[in-house]
Chains A and B, each alone.
Chain A
Amino acid sequence: MTLTSLTTAARGRLGDSVARPDGIPKTQGSFSFSGDLSADGFLWGATLRSPHPYARIVRVDASAAWAIDGVECVITASDVPGKSTYGLISSDQPVFADEFARFEGEPIAAVAADHPETCRRALAAIVVEYEVLPPLTEPERCIDGSHPPIHPDGNVLRHQRIIRGDQSIVGPVTVEGTYELGMQDQAFLGLEAALALPDPGGEGIELFIATQWLHEDRKQIAACLDLPEDKVRLTLGGVGGAFGAREDISLQVHCCLLALRTGRPVRMAYSRQESFLGHVHRHPGKIWMRHHADAAGRLLRVEARFVLDGGAYASTSSAVLVNAITHTQGPYKCENATVDGWVVRTNNLPCGAMRGFGVVQACFAHEAQMDKLAAAVGVDVVDIRLLNAMQTGDRLITGQIIESVAPVARAIRETAALPLPDEPVGGHDSDPLRLPGGAGLTADRRHIRRGIGWGVSIKNLMYSEGFDDYSTARVRLADGIASVKFATSEVGQGFVTIAAQIARSVLGVDDVVLEPIDTTIGSAGSTSASRQTWMSGGAVDGACRLVRERLFELVAAANDLDAVQLEIDGTDVIDPRGTLRISVAQATAGVTLEETFEHHHRATEDLDENGQGNCHTAFAFVAQRAVVDVDPELGLVKVIQIATAQDVGRALNPMSVVGQIEGGIAQGLGLAVMEEIVQTDGHTRNASFTDYLLPTFLDMPDVVISLIEEPDPMAPMGAKGVGEPPCIAATPAIVAAIRDALGKDIVRVPVRPGDICLG
């Protein structure tokens, strides 16, 4: 890595690589994840799931389960007191399947018992009579209407076009292709888990949960439990990663309902297999694109048809589709577009948010297209991108002007300037671990070919299409100590770290206390869409500024000064033109200053029927270059290096930013060469870590990073979100490198060995 010796800094302010405040407990095993929480007298909860991807549920007989010693409760659809369905955009997903099971793994019932083994036996004893139906697994049948609806809301979750500019443009240079992406899983390590504590009398409930959005969970849970929201109290249990999979609720209502029914605390925890079935995934997709360019390679028009498979329930499919199609052109200037986008409902696993949210799919396609375009006009793959690189002031194909800082050309150039690996194939010491196949000893150096490939991306930040997204924070300053309260889900990304850095920087304190993350304060929105630094950071920053204003007023009044003259210097309040210097601690001795702030971003618009509208909030950009070694005869691959320059606005914590970049690259690498949920006729074949393969230490390459810090004036502290772009660009870069090594077209991810060496 070229960023040398990132060390934790003394002062802990913005711009420092500060260590995370929960780091030591995490290294000692004393940090509590939601699955580590327990309560006296608790019961274990477990879920019965449909073995069929599509079936009518004829009857459910739980009597044998009730009879088992140690079983305290069995619940089904008829036991849901309130709303029987839930969902993030449309409430189309049943708490328990009632008339139909629509995906393999859909919850049918739940039990509470004294031991997980008792639960297992109880689930096995529940008799469910199914009328098995042939599953709908082919997205085109949803589009052509040839399959009856598998849900009252129909089989098309959303259809959206983008029509802009001159529709008649053809060529002179034309390149096209059809690209496919398999279903990726977020595979966070911290399995779904919760602890529900019912209030005596069952009039309310407390839930400790690992989730991405406490308030959205609460809203849905309360509706299903038929309880007022203020009786449903959520506290964030430690979250072991999210990556989009915790945006939809999974075990929340089941766990609460079991607790309310039994009057006892209930713990639920998913196994890994259950986790694969129990949360949404990245939409598999088939994307056709055709790019029209002039003889020099400048884009004239882009055509595309997106078909995303949303699986059985809607989740956030509608928004994923819009994200995907509005990013069709990539970070390139293009005035004219003809795009048709579909996301459909099938009996495959439900899909929803995963890091990248639709842009992963678009980027894989458009980057493959740009390489084809380069070849067609006889230009280098870097030059074709520089030629077309977007700038601030250019428009998306939705008509929206890119007002964000947009250093696309700079990102490409800085990436190109990062040194290529100096080690040859197999390394200087010819270590088999450095070859594709590794310790499997499948190849010698001479069997390997090296390729280089590029992936460049634009990614929208925050939410879109008119949603009034906001985040709330409360800051209290007393006796020189700042306390910060927010409901922002910390899922590992490090918001808790920068929240303290913001408070230190704005208020001039060293000591910051972070209060529990729960629903006793207003919503912080979701930890997703690379939005929390901007939105929750903006909320903490806004609250701190209000507190600082009050502090200055206080000091000014006491010293016969004007508040506007005052500044923070280190840990003091000073009048830079005078002699006043008083420590913040002294100034706030015996005083409590408290302010709450809601940060909203500027308004966005819906898209019209032609996909025109200012639907996004802001944008970030990234370029990546991948060096990959390939064994063309066996089709095995080893990624040697990823070089990247990323538009981050301002690195509030460089070490955290590097962590997000490297982690995102790992997930992009996974999608490129190894990660796929394999479904056949709606049955999942590989719901385990044995066969759903995540990148290991031996799969990750060296990463060299250049951070582009052009502070964005629209962003609260100039800082853009950084989590998604690295994940998006890595996949096309790696696949492009494989194509370069082989001289062969690869149109699908994950790339399988047979795709490389057969046919």
Chain B
Amino acid sequence: MSNQFYRLHVNGVLHEVRDAWVGESLLFVLRERLGLTGSKGACEQGECGSCSVLVDGELLCSCLVLAAGAVGQSVVTIEGVAPLGVPNDVQQAFVDCGAVQCGFCTPGLIMAVHALLDHSQSPSEMEIREELSGNICRCTGYGRIIEAVQSVAVARRVNSENASPA
């Protein structure tokens, strides 16, 4: 395979990436070549989680993924979790609970919360803290974020209980 072009599967769409420099991270390619600026770079070392995406269902830091090496994998970014203008329950809860201030960490956090709630329907507070410990927020002090996650977990449980046949 040469560096002339490669294809990435992002949010259900196959994208061609042309004339890219091979050392580019997935974060760079998403933002600068695919126009998906929702994932943010705040450290490019995997120390803040702002660039978090799902790759084959796993939560990863996209700054640590070589874009050309993500060929054949399924990438989901913040733009892919809900249609534009139609926030999902996690996104709405973040806003309702005051879990968003500057918002720079928010997309990465939303991805991490999705990964958390996919694996654990009723996470304890310590589980939430540990599963989100790879995401730094400098504005909120984390309290409202934890509340948002807990409110989503509760609401989903109530909804699934209501949806189950009696």
A and B touch in the complex (CB under 8 A): yes
* Chain A interface residues toward B at CB < 8 A: 1, 6-8, 17, 19-20, 22-24, 26-33, 35-36, 115, 117, 187-191, 238-241, 243, 271-272, 431, 433-434, 439, 491-494, 655-656, 658-659, 661-667, 688-690, 694, 696-698, 700, 703
State which of B77, B96, B100, B105 has its C-beta within 8 Å of the C-beta of A8: B96
State which of A115, A240, A433, A434 has its C-beta within 8 Å of the C-beta of B103: A240
Evaluate whether A658 and B143 lie within 8 angstroms (CB atoms) in the complex, with A23-B94, A694-B136, A698-B133 already known: yes
Bound: A322/B100 CA distance, A: 34
Cross-chain contact B107 with A662 (CB below 8 angstroms): no
Interface stretch (choices B1-9, B40-48, B64-72):
B40-48
Evaluate whether A29 and B132 lie within 8 angstroms (CB atoms) in the complex, with A19-B96, A189-B50, A190-B42 already known: no
Cross-chain contact A689 with B95 (CB below 8 angstroms): no
B62 within 8 A of A: no
A-B contact pairs, 7 of them (CB 8 A): A8-B95, A20-B95, A26-B100, A26-B107, A33-B103, A689-B47, A697-B146
CB closest residue in chain A, given B102: A492
Residues on the B chain within 8 Å of A658, using CB: 98, 143-144
Residues on the A chain within 8 Å of B145, using CB: 697
Residues on the B chain within 8 Å of A187, using CB: 138
B141 within 8 A of A: yes
Cross-chain contact A663 with B44 (CB below 8 angstroms): no
Residues on the A chain within 8 Å of B96, using CB: 7-8, 19
Bound: A662/B141 CA distance, A: 5
Contact bitstring B88-115, A, C-beta under 8 A = 1, else 0:
0011101111101111111100100000
Residues on the B chain within 8 Å of A272, using CB: 42-45
B16 within 8 A of A: no
B78 within 8 A of A: yes
CB closest residue in chain A, given B95: A23
State which of B23, B97, B139, B144 has its C-beta within 8 Å of the C-beta of A492: B139
Evaluate whether A694 and B45 lie within 8 angstroms (CB atoms) in the complex, with A29-B37, A32-B37, A33-B104 already known: no
State which of A117, A667, A690 has its C-beta within 8 Å of the C-beta of B47: A690
CB closest residue in chain A, given B141: A662
State which of B45, B98, B139 has its C-beta within 8 Å of the C-beta of A6: B98
Evaluate whether A694 and B138 lie within 8 angstroms (CB atoms) in the complex, with A189-B102, A655-B98 already known: yes
Residues on the A chain within 8 Å of B43, using CB: 272, 688-689
The 6 A-B pairs at the shortest CB distance, nearest first, are namely A29-B38, A492-B102, A26-B103, A662-B141, A240-B104, A23-B95
Chain A nearest CB from B34 CB (Å) reads 13
Residues on the B chain within 8 Å of A8, using CB: 95-96
Please count the residue pairs between chain A and chain B whose beta carbons lie under 8 angstroms apart in the complex. Answer: 187
Cross-chain contact B37 with A24 (CB below 8 angstroms): no
Cross-chain contact A698 with B129 (CB below 8 angstroms): yes
Chain A nearest CB from B98 CB (Å) reads 4
B82 within 8 A of A: yes
CB closest residue in chain B, given A642: B141
Cross-chain contact B102 with A433 (CB below 8 angstroms): no
State which of B42, B107, B132 has its C-beta within 8 Å of the C-beta of A27: B107
Cross-chain contact A689 with B48 (CB below 8 angstroms): yes
State which of B42, B92, B143 has its C-beta within 8 Å of the C-beta of A662: B143
Evaluate whether A28 and B78 lie within 8 angstroms (CB atoms) in the complex, with A6-B97, A662-B142, A697-B133 already known: yes
Cross-chain contact A24 with B139 (CB below 8 angstroms): no
* Chain B interface residues toward A at CB < 8 A: 21, 23, 31, 36-45, 47-48, 50, 77-79, 82, 84-85, 87, 90-92, 94-98, 100-107, 110, 126, 128-130, 132-147
Interface of A is mostly: loop
CB closest residue in chain B, given A667: B138
State which of B23, B36, B87 has its C-beta within 8 Å of the C-beta of A24: B87
Evaluate whether A271 and B44 lie within 8 angstroms (CB atoms) in the complex, with A20-B100, A241-B104, A659-B139 already known: yes
Bound: A119/B146 CA distance, A: 41
Residues on the B chain within 8 Å of A663, using CB: 101, 138-141
Evaluate whether A688 and B45 lie within 8 angstroms (CB atoms) in the complex, with A19-B95, A19-B96, A703-B141 already known: yes
Cross-chain contact A29 with B144 (CB below 8 angstroms): no
Residues on the B chain within 8 Å of A31, using CB: 103
State which of B47, B98, B102, B136 has its C-beta within 8 Å of the C-beta of A190: B102
Bound: A313/B137 CA distance, A: 30
Kindly name the residue among B77, B97, B128, B135 whose own CB sees the greatest number of chain A CB atoms within 10 A: B97
Residues on the A chain within 8 Å of B98, using CB: 6, 17, 19, 655-656, 658-659
Cross-chain contact B141 with A700 (CB below 8 angstroms): yes
Cross-chain contact A29 with B143 (CB below 8 angstroms): no
Cross-chain contact A493 with B101 (CB below 8 angstroms): yes
Bound: A291/B89 CA distance, A: 55
Bound: A639/B95 CA distance, A: 27
Kindly name the residue among A26, A431, A492, A494 whose own CB sees the greatest number of chain B CB atoms within 10 A: A26
CB closest residue in chain B, given A700: B142
Residues on the A chain within 8 Å of B104, using CB: 33, 188-190, 240-241, 492
Cross-chain contact A189 with B40 (CB below 8 angstroms): yes
Residues on the A chain within 8 Å of B138, using CB: 187-189, 241, 243, 663, 666-667, 694
Cross-chain contact A662 with B45 (CB below 8 angstroms): no
Residues on the B chain within 8 Å of A33, using CB: 40, 103-104
CB closest residue in chain A, given B135: A697
Bound: A187/B138 CA distance, A: 7
CB closest residue in chain A, given B128: A697
Kindly name the residue among A33, A187, A492 whose own CB sees the greatest number of chain B CB atoms within 10 A: A492
Chain A nearest CB from B127 CB (Å) reads 9
CB closest residue in chain A, given B125: A702
State which of A1, A23, A117, A689 has its C-beta within 8 Å of the C-beta of B143: A1
Evaluate whether A240 and B141 lie within 8 angstroms (CB atoms) in the complex, with A36-B37, A690-B47 already known: no
Cross-chain contact B48 with A189 (CB below 8 angstroms): yes
Bound: A457/B147 CA distance, A: 28
Bound: A298/B84 CA distance, A: 61
Chain B nearest CB from A700 CB (Å) reads 5
Residues on the A chain within 8 Å of B45, using CB: 272, 688-690
Chain A nearest CB from B83 CB (Å) reads 9
Evaluate whether A27 and B126 lie within 8 angstroms (CB atoms) in the complex, with A241-B138, A658-B143 already known: no
Bound: A110/B133 CA distance, A: 37
Cross-chain contact B101 with A29 (CB below 8 angstroms): no
Cross-chain contact B47 with A29 (CB below 8 angstroms): no
Residues on the A chain within 8 Å of B38, using CB: 28-30
Evaluate whether A28 and B82 lie within 8 angstroms (CB atoms) in the complex, with A191-B42, A662-B141, A697-B130 already known: yes
CB closest residue in chain B, given A427: B126
Bound: A6/B95 CA distance, A: 12
CB closest residue in chain A, given B21: A117
Residues on the B chain within 8 Å of A35, using CB: 40-41
**Apart from the given pairs A27-B92, A28-B85, A697-B130, 19 other A-B contacts in the complex at a CB distance below 8 Å:** A8-B95, A20-B95, A22-B103, A24-B87, A27-B90, A28-B82, A29-B106, A33-B40, A188-B104, A189-B42, A191-B41, A433-B126, A433-B130, A493-B101, A662-B140, A689-B43, A689-B136, A697-B135, A700-B142
Evaluate whether A662 and B110 lie within 8 angstroms (CB atoms) in the complex, with A28-B78, A30-B84, A689-B47 already known: no
Cross-chain contact B79 with A494 (CB below 8 angstroms): no
Kindly name the residue among B38, B104, B132 whose own CB sees the greatest number of chain A CB atoms within 10 A: B104
Bound: A216/B96 CA distance, A: 34
Evaluate whether A697 and B142 lie within 8 angstroms (CB atoms) in the complex, with A190-B104, A690-B45 already known: yes
Residues on the A chain within 8 Å of B132, using CB: 697
Chain B nearest CB from A23 CB (Å) reads 4
Chain A nearest CB from B44 CB (Å) reads 6
Cross-chain contact B144 with A189 (CB below 8 angstroms): no
Cross-chain contact B91 with A27 (CB below 8 angstroms): yes
CB closest residue in chain B, given A17: B98
Bound: A233/B77 CA distance, A: 34
Cross-chain contact A29 with B95 (CB below 8 angstroms): no
CB closest residue in chain B, given A19: B95
Residues on the B chain within 8 Å of A667, using CB: 138
CB closest residue in chain B, given A494: B101
